[in-house]
Structure 1
Amino acid sequence: MSADTVVALLVFLFPLAYSPGPGNTFFAAIGAARGPRAAIPALVGYHVATFLVTLLIGLGLGATFLEHPVLTTVLSAAGSVYVLWLAFGFLKSVRDTADRDTPSTPDRRPGIGFRAGAVVLLLNPKAYSIIAVLFGQALRPPENGDALLILLVTLVFTANNLVAFLVWTFGGRTLTTLFRSPQSRRWIDRLFAGTLVGVAIWMALPLLD
């Protein structure tokens, strides 16, 4: 893949990766509520899934998926329910933490780890559609069967996405550096839970099409 192709690919990907969407909003909320270090397991899970899904779609599985709209509906519903479950589980733990009488009690809020990050990608059918469009733009005959080119496009897409999500994660943390009191932290946690609800609604939008 030539340097010109890489540049064209990055230009194509820039608005998709850095504009607000379910994935980067999800990680901005984690960064705000818990900090970038706590987001690392979910980031790894999300981008391992991104790499695998992108590679499989590039090898031809994407067309099969997109030909069955019922799969999109099922994924949208499952993804929305899963993120809602994360949101309400986290909100419940915030309430339980606020009700404790002893400040020394360990924080037992549920983890948003590797599995959660992977599932947010795997149950987001919009990501599948974007990846399919990506390969439609990046691969032209007679290169469609070039496995090495597919791998390179997959690596560029995954790496660009990871950089974008890191920017959003650190951005979320930056917005909360001035709010350090326990009361402020509880409000930030509630905002995190509310953001997850918004992500769930966003993921459910294909159900309305």
Structure 2
Amino acid sequence: MEETGNPHPYVPTDLLLPDYVPPFLSQSAILCIYGVASLVVVSTVWVSSGFSRKIAKLDRLLLCWWAFTGLTHLILEGYFAFAPEFYKDKSGFFLAEVWKEYSKGDSRYAARDSGVVSVEGLTAVFEGPACLLALYAIATRKSYSYILQFAISLGQLYGTAVYFITAYLEGDNFAASPHYYYAYYIGANASWVVIPSLIALRCWRKICVAVNVADQKKTKTKTR
């Protein structure tokens, strides 16, 4: 129990969170609402992109990913970055409820760890809009689509690496229990390791092929 006499479920137990207000929603309710909202976004993008025969199935999947991750960066992470006292929220505001719950897997969020705030803030401000730009670039077949996706994916991988490495260097003991550690800290962040890695590799290959083709054309032009 903290010195203010207001207990919380986070680690360490003596973490000072004055005026902490427990979540109003249950874990299942929070996950259900977030899951349904995400499904609506992904389904809307998938269905709407299906009306265009010019967009391949893989590109449609990428559109779904960039819509989901872009809105997650902008709305969810953006709220955390600019709401330093979310743990005091008494209104039951959903975004505050999400971070109160997620902090059980990583209490650095409730504690406003400077490294976490920096990573989340930069992600929200720069990568969020960039993800939506990538969505637009794929849908309209812009020439900068691959380099943009490559850059964003590298940024996501860098941010995730900083997130995990700083936790490791600080003892990796910020979860309320193994359940929250593996479900939130590991599981919730796994997508931002696997998917950006696959996208970065694909874009790297596409860019290399395009450069090789361009170089071959230049060589043929010079030899004529």
- Pairwise same-fold verdict (TM > 0.5): no
Instruction: Give the TM-score, by structure 2 length.
Output: 0.28
Tell me the TM-score normalised to structure 1 length: 0.29
Highest Rg: 1 or 2?
2
